[in-house]
């Protein structure tokens, strides 16, 4: 896997020129073993004979890596006489917020001045990914630091999605509850002395408290506000007495400020996991009216989605104002991202193809930034592919917490954020495994076939390459994301060597993670019914557009 990345053209010229030339295939035997991988990474840095021809080459490499990611370490050498203060962490996590859905990501209609101002204070990741294309599996990856075959949450719910006559295979149901033997970053951070809180959507069990949180507000197994963004809020105990005109996003903002105020004298970690901007698409009336009276953008036009986003963004502004008022801003790390791509009928990720539920880029690539005062240089960007399983080791690193004694698929982003080079992120491939079905939301031009957003598949990204494998027919799709971010030109037939190399890697990864590949025929499958349904939608499912 290392040679795969190191010799290829996506490397900027300056890096490619000095990239290690003799990483041997023997290193591949380390693949699949976390201990082996960690050991290999360490050897490559401390022992030039292993990976680099000289220390001079190593230092050039590090310099080039620094330039690539526009990173600079602005923190002076730590003053050893200073009492170290644990930084607070505010993790703002949105639901179904798409890759272009903020001003700093190029929206031409949604207004997010507070997010934009924060993004400018930190590092924006241009190739950040969710762990899955829909809610529960992505969140399970996020909390556990593990890919889906390890926690076995593959979909929202465990029942078949879409018409049972329209899929060739039995899906792998997996589970809908995060196993309690899996440690989350909340466990780790809590053990490191932090007060931990979750406010908003949880979705991984009935109660988040056994998963490392001291405080829960409104987190249940439900994946959306049961009756919408205004009361009544079903069985959410904390919201039983919500005033009838209280907009849920605003209430979660106020609860977040309350948590910060109550815990300001100790280190805290707040997981602010908004229901916004998940369906139902429902905004505050005066904000909806505002956007109805504005000219629509070319990319985005939906006034209610715009209103939902503005409510969230105003909340971000209130929280950052509270951090300033409490004199906590300089000691609070802010991490922002979302769980999967935007809801196709209401927003667009263009030029990316796909939306929530598809494994094209629009379904999994996310806006993401990190503000780490005094550590991460403001106004920086990083193009390296990162994925939400990286946040468990990152949060442990930020807070001084111990890593849990379990398989960890992510790597810490702290070296990128502090400006200390690490080649981990280029060297590795990242993966998604979805052995299930997701029915269409009727954006047939944005998905592989008209009936499903996704059929059973594994997908990987390695440098500039992205490989999809769909299990019903064994179809492969290979894209060069550097030249074709919209995944329009399948290169399987013109780049067979690349496709084979990546497919070999993908199979090795599935073996290493015990990923189940569906193979049992679906006894309810009816090819005629499927063809008729596709015909009715006027498209051919084999179209690879
Ligand atoms: Ca979601």
- Specify the CATH number for the domain of residue 478: 3.30.1120.10
- Per the listing, tokens 């209610």 go with 304
pLDDT at 26 over 60: no
pLDDT at 484 over 70: yes
Q: What percent of the chain has pLDDT over 90?
A: 78
Whether the CB-CB separation of 309 and 92 falls below 8 Å is answered with: no
Whether the CB-CB separation of 197 and 259 falls below 8 Å is answered with: yes
- Per the listing, tokens 């019903």 go with 472
Please give the distance, rounded to the nearest whole angstrom, from the Cα atom of residue 96 to the centre of ligand 1.
4
pLDDT at 9 over 50: no
Nearest to residue 481, comparing CAs of 418, 420, 533, 430?
Answer: 430
Residue 200: enclosing H or E segment and its boundaries?
strand 195-200
For residue 88, cis peptide bond before it (omega within 30 degrees of 0): no
DSSP conformation class of 212:
T
pLDDT of residue 436: 97
CA distance 405 to 36: 15
- In this structure, the answer to whether residues 47 and 129 fall within a common structural domain is no
- Domain assignment of residue 211, yes or no: yes
pLDDT of residue 396: 98
pLDDT of residue 443: 74
- By CB atoms closer than 10 A (0-12, 13-18, 19+), residue 70 is middle
- In this structure, the answer to whether residues 247 and 365 fall within a common structural domain is yes
- Domain assignment of residue 271, yes or no: yes
pLDDT at 43 over 50: no
Residue 397: enclosing H or E segment and its boundaries?
helix 391-399
| Window from 289-298, 442-451, 487-496 with minimum mean pLDDT | 442-451
pLDDT of residue 166: 96
- In this structure, the answer to whether residues 403 and 529 fall within a common structural domain is no
Whether the CB-CB separation of 399 and 194 falls below 8 Å is answered with: yes
Please give the distance, rounded to the nearest whole angstrom, from the Cα atom of residue 288 to the centre of ligand 1.
22
Task: Write the CB contacts of 140 (distance below 8 Å, at least 6 apart in sequence).
Answer: 131, 132, 146, 148, 151, 153, 178, 204
- By CB atoms closer than 10 A (0-12, 13-18, 19+), residue 330 is exposed
- In this structure, the answer to whether residues 396 and 504 fall within a common structural domain is no
Which domain range does residue 125 map to?
Answer: 88-159+176-417
- Domain assignment of residue 218, yes or no: yes
| Window from 45-49, 290-294, 351-355, 398-402 with minimum mean pLDDT | 45-49
Task: Report the pLDDT averaged over residues 361-375.
Answer: 98
Whether the CB-CB separation of 359 and 468 falls below 8 Å is answered with: yes
- Tokens representing residue 3 in the block: 């040679």
CA distance 228 to 220: 15
pLDDT of residue 12: 29
Domain's final residue, options 417, 440, 472 = 417
Supply the mean pLDDT for the chain.
Answer: 86
Taking a 5 Å cut-off on Cβ, the residues next to ion ligand 1 are 95-96, 135, 339-340
- Domain assignment of residue 453, yes or no: yes
Whether the CB-CB separation of 331 and 87 falls below 8 Å is answered with: yes
Task: Report the pLDDT averaged over residues 446-455.
Answer: 94
CA distance 112 to 407: 37
Please give the distance, rounded to the nearest whole angstrom, from the Cα atom of residue 16 to the centre of ligand 1.
37
pLDDT of residue 54: 37
- In this structure, the answer to whether residues 45 and 103 fall within a common structural domain is no
Task: Write the CB contacts of 76 (distance below 8 Å, at least 6 apart in sequence).
Answer: none
Whether the CB-CB separation of 272 and 90 falls below 8 Å is answered with: yes
pLDDT tens-place string over residues 398-407:
999 999 999 9
Please give the distance, rounded to the nearest whole angstrom, from the Cα atom of residue 355 to the centre of ligand 1.
11
Please give the distance, rounded to the nearest whole angstrom, from the Cα atom of residue 531 to the centre of ligand 1.
30
Task: Report the pLDDT averaged over residues 278-291.
Answer: 98
Please give the distance, rounded to the nearest whole angstrom, from the Cα atom of residue 89 to the centre of ligand 1.
22
pLDDT tens-place string over residues 200-223:
999 999 999 999 999 999 999 999
- In this structure, the answer to whether residues 214 and 358 fall within a common structural domain is yes
Task: Report the pLDDT averaged over residues 515-531.
Answer: 97
Specify which residues 333 forms β-bridges with.
89
DSSP class per residue in 95-147: SS--TT-SGGGT-SS---HHHHHHHHTSEEETTEE-SSSSHHHHHHHHHHT--
537 falls in which pLDDT band (50, 70, 90)?
Answer: confident
* Domains identified in the chain, total number: 3
pLDDT of residue 336: 99
pLDDT of residue 38: 31
Q: What 3-state DSSP class applies to 392?
A: helix
pLDDT tens-place string over residues 421-443:
655 566 799 999 999 999 998 77
pLDDT tens-place string over residues 86-130:
999 999 999 999 999 999 999 999 999 999 999 999 999 999 999
- 33 vs 532, which has greater pLDDT? 532
Please give the distance, rounded to the nearest whole angstrom, from the Cα atom of residue 342 to the centre of ligand 1.
8
CB atoms within 10 A of CB 284: 20
Instruction: Please write down the long-range contacts of 324-327, taking CB distance under 8 Å and 24 or more positions apart.
Output: 326/260, 326/261, 326/264
Task: Report the pLDDT averaged over residues 47-63.
Answer: 36
- In this structure, the answer to whether residues 217 and 343 fall within a common structural domain is yes
pLDDT tens-place string over residues 140-172:
999 999 999 999 999 999 999 999 999 999 999
Domain's final residue, options 389, 417, 445 = 417
CA distance 288 to 274: 19
Domain's final residue, options 417, 450, 475 = 417
pLDDT of residue 423: 59
pLDDT of residue 85: 82
Task: Report the pLDDT averaged over residues 478-494.
Answer: 98
- Tokens representing residue 511 in the block: 């073996």
- In this structure, the answer to whether residues 182 and 255 fall within a common structural domain is yes
DSSP class per residue in 336-348: EEESS---TTT--
pLDDT at 544 over 70: no
């Amino acid at each position: 896997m290392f040679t795969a990345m190191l010799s290829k053209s996506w490397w900027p010229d300056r890096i490619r020129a000095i990239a290690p030339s003799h990483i041997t295939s023997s290193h591949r035997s380390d693949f699949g073993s976390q201990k082996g991988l960690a050991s290999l990474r360490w050897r490559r840095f401390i022992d030039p004979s292993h990976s680099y021809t000289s220390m001079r080459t190593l230092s050039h490499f590090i310099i080039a890596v620094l330039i690539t990611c526009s990173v600079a370490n602005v923190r002076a050498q730590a003053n050893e006489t200073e009492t170290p203060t644990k930084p607070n962490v505010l993790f703002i996590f949105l639901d179904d917020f798409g890759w272009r859905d903020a001003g700093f990501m190029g929206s031409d209609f949604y207004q997010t001045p507070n997010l934009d101002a924060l993004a400018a204070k930190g590092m924006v990741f241009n190739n950040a990914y969710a762990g899955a294309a829909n809610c529960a599996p992505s969140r399970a990856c996020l909390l556990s630091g593990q890919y889906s075959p390890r926690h076995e949450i593959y979909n929202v719910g465990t029942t078949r999605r879409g018409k049972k006559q329209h899929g060739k295979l039995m899906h792998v149901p997996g589970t809908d509850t995060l196993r309690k033997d899996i440690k989350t970053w909340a466990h780790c951070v809590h053990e490191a002395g932090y007060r931990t809180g979750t406010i908003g959507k949880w979705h991984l069990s009935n109660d988040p408290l056994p998963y490392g949180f001291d405080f829960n507000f409104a987190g249940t197994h439900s994946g959306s506000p049961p009756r919408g963004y205004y009361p009544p809020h079903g069985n959410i105990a904390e919201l039983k007495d919500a005033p009838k005109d209280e907009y849920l996003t605003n209430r979660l903002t106020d609860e977040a400020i309350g948590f910060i105020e109550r815990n300001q004298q100790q280190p805290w970690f707040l997981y602010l996991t908004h229901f916004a901007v998940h369906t139902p698409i429902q905004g505050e009336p005066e904000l909806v009216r505002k956007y109805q009276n504005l000219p629509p953008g070319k990319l985005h036009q939906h006034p209610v989605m715009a209103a939902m986003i503005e409510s969230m963004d105003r909340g971000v502004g209130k929280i950052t104002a509270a951090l300033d008022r409490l004199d906590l801003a300089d000691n609070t790390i802010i991490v922002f991202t979302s769980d999967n791509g935007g809801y196709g009928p209401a927003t667009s990720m263009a030029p990316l193809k796909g939306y929530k539920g598809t494994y094209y880029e629009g379904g999994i690539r996310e806006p993401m930034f990190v503000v780490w005062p005094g550590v991460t240089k403001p106004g920086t960007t990083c193009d390296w592919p990162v994925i939400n399983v990286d946040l468990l080791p990152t949060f442990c690193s930020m807070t001084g917490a111990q890593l849990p004694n379990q398989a960890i698929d992510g790597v810490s982003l702290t070296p990128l954020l502090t400006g200390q080079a690490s080649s981990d992120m280029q060297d590795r491939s990242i993966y998604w495994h979805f052995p299930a079905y997701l029915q269409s939301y009727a954006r047939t031009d944005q998905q592989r076939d008209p009936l499903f957003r996704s059929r059973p598949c594994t997908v990987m990204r390695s440098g500039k390459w992205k490989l999809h494998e769909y299990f019903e027919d064994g179809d492969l799709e290979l894209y060069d994301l550097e030249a074709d971010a919209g995944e329009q030109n399948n290169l399987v037939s013109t780049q067979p060597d690349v496709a084979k190399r990546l497919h070999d890697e993908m199979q090795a990864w599935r073996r290493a993670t015990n990923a189940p590949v569906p193979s049992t025929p679906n006894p309810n499958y009816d090819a005629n019914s499927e063809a008729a349904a596709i015909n009715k939608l006027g498209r051919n499912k084999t179209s690879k557009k």
